[in-house]
Amino acid sequence: MSDPAPGPAVDRLLDLDRAHVWHPYGPMPGRSDPYVVDAAEGVRLRLADGRELVDGMSSWWAAVHGYRHPDLDAAVRAQMSRMSHVMFGGLTHAPAIELATTLVELTPQGLEHVFLCDSGSVGVEVAVKMALQAQRARGFPQRRKLGTWRGGYHGDTFHPMSVCDPVGGMHAMWAGVLPAQIFAGLPPVEFRADYAAELADMVARHAHELAAVIVEPVVQGAGGMRFHHPDYLRVLREVTAEHGVLLIFDEIATGFGRTGRLFAAGHAGVSPDVLCLGKALTGGYLSLAATLCTAPVARAISSGEGGGLAHGPTFMGNPLACAVANASLGLLRSGGWAEQVARIEGGLRTGLAPLRDAAGVADVRVLGAIGVVQMDHDVDMPAATAAAVDAGVWLRPFRNLIYTMPPYVTGDGDLARITAGIAAAVAAT
């Protein structure tokens, strides 16, 4: 990588950023300056001031193969030389067809039809719409609520927000705006019969008004980075099937190997009726999501009023995004991810274990390529981030959590740097 940009250029960019650019979940202008990134390659981000950081975040869990991967770059270039986009109404193309076919092959059994859309939140909206339309078509128009458990995160548009954790998802701020949904308590790490009974009871008691239950299987991501026992998914599968309630798995965060299985549903060996994918779908290159459903769900929707699914975004099935998703899935299919994730799991366990005894640490947990340090207080985000940056690592803590979801291609040396960066962030907050 070449010389750093001169200081004044960075200052000018930051002035303009402060003046005009909104950043996630922030006020305007932001509370602290973001870091200007010039380029990224492999697992490294190069800042405009010349510093290089090992990326512990995979750009919000998406860049599983790292940056500027030759296969992914080539796939985008090749597709661009044919067409970057065409509308999907009345037209189709090989990249989308190949992607849908591959997703059906790779995902849990029974999921046969694929709806492509722009982002994870929209993919969840589509899943909800599928569930509501299928229930209406089956003669249950009053079944239009969603059941879930606390601690979840499903996106930032309105229906997804309504099934986010009521506290973390700021439901108080949206009282009267968000549809009221039905919540069970936080899913425990261990299997407990009383919690299984609580889930079964929620579905049984509310079956008349529930269109679907939606959960993140095995790992709850942005809602708190919590893990739960996979057998709860079996309980949900049985009880929803028994009561004619659909089961939606949101694997936008867990899909494509992150938890050590290709899909987290694999930990429980169950298939949902509807599956949401996003984030790592394109290897972190472009925004794309996919919502898959079973043949019975598709049949019900297609036989109902309107005669189809009432959704069709402008950039549906974008060929560039599909092409790079196909290349990313090609890399995953060649199989190295499982060893990479297992190796990272081992490195995270070793590297984070000493933090169990550090001041202010409430819990340390690792699953697959996910390492979490939970503090007993909310993290001072600018201070923790700066400490990690000084240690040469990019982290983005939130609430009381300092965590990493590194790219699968992270080597042992860089992984040790990430765990050292986490330790520095812990010490700084």
**What is the contact surface with ligand PLP in residues (CB under 6 A)?**
119-121, 124, 153-155, 216, 221-222, 250, 252-253, 278-279
Active site residue 153: yes
In terms of CB distance, is 95 or 120 closer to ligand PLP?
Answer: 120
Q: Which residue out of 67, 153, 195, 403 is catalytically annotated?
A: 153
Least separation, in Å, of the C-beta of 274 and ligand PLP?
13
226 annotated ligand binder:
no
> Are the C-beta atoms of residues 290 and 278 closer than 8 Å to each other?
yes
Active site residue 408: no
Least separation, in Å, of the C-beta of 239 and ligand PLP?
22
Exposure string for 354-388, b = 16+ CB within 10 A, e = fewer: ebeeeeebebbbbbbbbbbbbbeeebebeebbbbb
In terms of CB distance, is 47 or 275 closer to ligand PLP?
Answer: 275
Least separation, in Å, of the C-beta of 223 and ligand PLP?
8
Contacts of residue 265, defined as CB under 8 A and 6 or more positions apart, other chains included, come to 108, 217, 233, 249, 251, 271, 272, 275
Helices (H) and strands (E) in the chain, counts: 13, 16
Q: How far apart are CA 6 and CA 152, in angstroms?
A: 43
121 annotated ligand binder:
yes
Least separation, in Å, of the C-beta of 141 and ligand PLP?
27
In terms of CB distance, is 160 or 351 closer to ligand PLP?
Answer: 160
Q: Which residue out of 165, 250, 273, 414 is catalytically annotated?
A: 250
In terms of CB distance, is 108 or 351 closer to ligand PLP?
Answer: 108
Residue 409, classified by CB atoms within 10 Å of its CB into exposed (0-12), middle (13-18) or buried (19+), is: buried
In terms of CB distance, is 152 or 304 closer to ligand PLP?
Answer: 152
Active site residue 279: yes
Look-up of token digits 């996979």: 230
> Are the C-beta atoms of residues 149 and 185 closer than 8 Å to each other?
yes
120 annotated ligand binder:
yes
Least separation, in Å, of the C-beta of 154 and ligand PLP?
5
Q: Which residue from 274, 257, 212, 217 is spatially nearest to 239, judged by alpha carbons? A: 212
- Helix (H) or strand (E) holding 7, with range, is helix 7-20
Q: Which residue out of 67, 118, 165, 279 is catalytically annotated?
A: 279
385 annotated ligand binder:
no
Q: How far apart are CA 106 and CA 333, in angstroms?
A: 9
Does the N-terminal peptide bond of residue 406 adopt cis geometry, omega within 30 degrees of 0?
no
Active site residue 129: no
> Are the C-beta atoms of residues 388 and 415 closer than 8 Å to each other?
no
396 annotated ligand binder:
yes
In terms of CB distance, is 93 or 279 closer to ligand PLP?
Answer: 279
285 annotated ligand binder:
no
Least separation, in Å, of the C-beta of 302 and ligand PLP?
26
314 annotated ligand binder:
yes
Name the H helices within 165-247: 193-206, 231-243
Backbone angles phi, psi at 37, to 5 degrees: -100, 135
Residue nearest ligand PLP, CB atom distance: 120
Known binding-site residue numbers for pyridoxal 5'-phosphate: 120-121, 250, 313-314
Known binding-site residue numbers for substrate: 60, 153, 279, 312, 396
Known binding-site residue numbers: 60, 120-121, 153, 250, 279, 312-314, 396
Q: Hey, which residues are catalytic here?
A: 25, 153, 250, 279
